[in-house]
Amino acid sequence: MSRRRQIYEGKAKILYEGPEPGTIIQYFKDDATAFNNQKKGTINGKGVLNNRISEHVFTLLGQIGIPTHFIRRLNMREQLVRQVEIVPVEVIVRNVAAGTLSKRLGIEEGTPLPRTILEYCYKDDALGDPMITDEHIACFGWASQDEMHEISDMAIRVNDFLSGLFAGIGIKLVDFKLEFGRVWDGDFSRIILADEISPDGCRLWDMKSNEKLDKDRFRRDLGGEVEAYQEVARRLGLMPDEGAGADTVLNFADAKKARGPE
Footprint of ligand 5GP (CB under 6 A): 92, 98-101, 129, 175-177, 200-203, 215
By Cβ distance, which residue is nearest to ligand 5GP? 99
Rounded Cα–Cα distance for residues 44 and 120 (Å): 31
Residue 201 CB, nearest approach to ligand 5GP (Å): 4
Nearest approach, Cβ of residue 204 and ligand 5GP (Å): 8
Q: Which is nearer to ligand 5GP, 73 or 94 (CB)?
A: 94
Q: Toward ligand 5GP, which CB reaches closer, 17 or 30?
A: 30
Residues near 213 by beta carbon (within 8 Å), at least 6 away in sequence = 171, 199, 204, 205, 206, 228, 229, 231, 232
Residue closer to ligand 5GP by CB (options 97, 191) is 97
Nearer to ligand 5GP, 131 or 244 (CB): 131
What is the closest distance, in whole angstroms, from the C-beta atom of residue 218 to ligand 5GP in the complex?
Answer: 11
Beta strands in 107-210, from DSSP E residues, in sequence order: 112-122, 131-132, 171-185, 188-194, 202-206
Helix axes 225-235, 46-63, angle to 10 degrees: 30
Distance, in Å, from the CA atom of 231 to the CA atom of 192, rounded to the nearest integer, reads: 29
| Minimum gap (Å) between residue 205 Cβ and ligand 5GP | 11
Query: Cβ 149 to ligand 5GP, closest distance in Å?
Result: 21
Q: Helix (H, G, I), strand (E, B), or coil: what is residue 50?
A: helix
